[in-house]
């Protein structure tokens, strides 16, 4: 099966739309009996989906999908679609424990971004991505290049605003909410004809989110999110997923005035804003200085400038995996960790 694709203008109306929701999400395992077999026979084909300004027409359930990001892969696995995933790439963290068995049979094309040839070698009829940088010049390949070979390219709604990819060269103008994440789950579940699995996943995510936020008192504690890089730290701005974590628990991101999801700043700026809590990226990868959690802690304690931060003096750290700070189903895992960390800090004060 090859998926037919037709480009449309940015004003195209999606056939699938997300319901308005207000909670936050994370991954839950899919029962083996539910994951086995074909679809549910609910989705009507041909199915049309507007994926960030590109209209995709699916004549049937995709047989072979390559996921270019960990977040996209974990959604597919959580929907019980591991037997359809013929390639994955761009991982920052270990797979969720409940998805480890399903992930074992999925070929890892690359730890980071794969080559276009590696993707074609997996013979997919659908390629999914969490971040639009994969679909740019210098990335894996532009979407038009996938079009030429009859391969549909789906981009997460969390990385799209007004038909433009945020990580593909665009800029957010409004804060990210959890709605696009739920939209992604619903769209992928519809494409693969497993809509009830999508709704069950979302319901469990909402339940966990409510439980996490109910355990702490909302406060105006200040925090900064440091993803990586000791020379020019990448910190979370005020419109992306990490800021959504902060606002959901009632905290204040000290770099909320920055528009980019992640911005490289100077340590002088961090010291000047002096957050009470530092949320540190605990990354599996070791590509750049400061990727690893222990490297971050060692740098903060030894550097003459950063050692003056109140969060460093008081060891007020909360560690999150990279996927938990980016828009993904692990958002709620991050929410739970921040809630637990703030609860512990409040108890110690």
Q: What is the pLDDT of residue 235?
A: 98
Residue 284: pLDDT band by 50, 70, 90 thresholds? confident
As for how many domains the chain has, the answer is 2
Torsion angles phi and psi, residue 23, rounded to 5 = -100, -175
CATH code: domain of residue 37:
3.40.50.1980
Q: Give residue-wise pLDDT tens across range 87-109.
A: 999 998 999 999 999 999 999 99
Q: Which domain does 301 fall in, by range?
A: 215-348
Same domain, 44 and 152: yes
Lowest mean pLDDT segment, chosen from 125-129, 141-145, 168-172: 168-172
141 half-sphere exposure, CB direction, 13 A CA radius: 20
Q: What is the pLDDT of residue 39?
A: 83
Q: What is the pLDDT of residue 20?
A: 31
Angle at 127 between CA 126 and CA 133, to 5 degrees: 155
Q: What is the pLDDT of residue 38?
A: 62
Q: What is the pLDDT of residue 215?
A: 81
**Residue after which a domain boundary falls, among 210, 241, 266:** 210
**Greater model confidence, 159 or 349:** 159
Q: Give residue-wise pLDDT tens across range 200-234.
A: 999 999 999 999 988 877 678 999 999 999 999 99
Pick from 137, 110, 140: nearest CA to 127: 140
Q: What is the pLDDT of residue 7?
A: 34
Same domain, 174 and 284: no
């Amino acid at each position: 099966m090859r998926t037919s694709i037709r480009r449309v203008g940015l004003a195209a109306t999606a056939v699938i739309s997300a319901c308005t929701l207000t909670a936050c999400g994370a991954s839950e395992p899919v029962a083996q009996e539910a994951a086995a077999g074909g679809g549910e026979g609910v989705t009507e084909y041909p199915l049309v989906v507007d994926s960030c300004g590109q209209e995709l027409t699916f004549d049937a359930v995709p047989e072979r999908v390559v996921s270019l990001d960990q977040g996209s892969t974990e959604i597919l696995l959580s929907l019980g679609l591991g037997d359809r995933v013929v390639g994955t790439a761009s991982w920052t963290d270990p797979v969720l424990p409940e998805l480890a068995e399903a992930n074992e049979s999925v070929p890892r094309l690359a730890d980071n971004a794969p080559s276009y040839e590696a993707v074609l070698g997996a013979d997919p009829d659908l390629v999914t991505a969490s971040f639009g940088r994969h679909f740019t010049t210098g990335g894996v390949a532009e979407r038009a290049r996938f079009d030429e070979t009859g391969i549909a390219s789906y981009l997460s709604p969390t990385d799209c605003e007004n038909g433009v990819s945020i990580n593909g060269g665009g800029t957010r103008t409004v804060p990210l909410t959890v709605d696009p994440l739920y939209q992604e789950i619903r769209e992928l579940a519809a494409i693969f004809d497993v809509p009830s699995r999508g709704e069950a996943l979302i319901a469990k995510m909402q339940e966990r989110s409510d439980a996490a936020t109910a355990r702490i008192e909302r406060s105006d504690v200040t925090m900064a999110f440091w993803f990586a890089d000791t020379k020019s730290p990448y910190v979370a701005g005020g419109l992306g997923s990490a800021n959504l974590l902060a606002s959901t628990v009632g905290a204040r991101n000290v770099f909320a005035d920055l528009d980019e999801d992640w911005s490289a700043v100077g340590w002088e700026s961090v010291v000047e804003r002096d957050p009470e809590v530092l949320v540190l990226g605990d990354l599996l990868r070791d590509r750049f200085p400061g990727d690893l959690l222990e490297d971050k802690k060692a740098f903060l304690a030894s550097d003459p400038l950063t050692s003056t931060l109140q969060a460093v003096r008081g060891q007020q750290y909360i560690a999150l995996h990279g996927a938990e700070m980016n828009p993904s189903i692990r958002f709620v895992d991050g929410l739970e960790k921040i809630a637990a960390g703030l609860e512990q800090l409040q108890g110690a004060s």
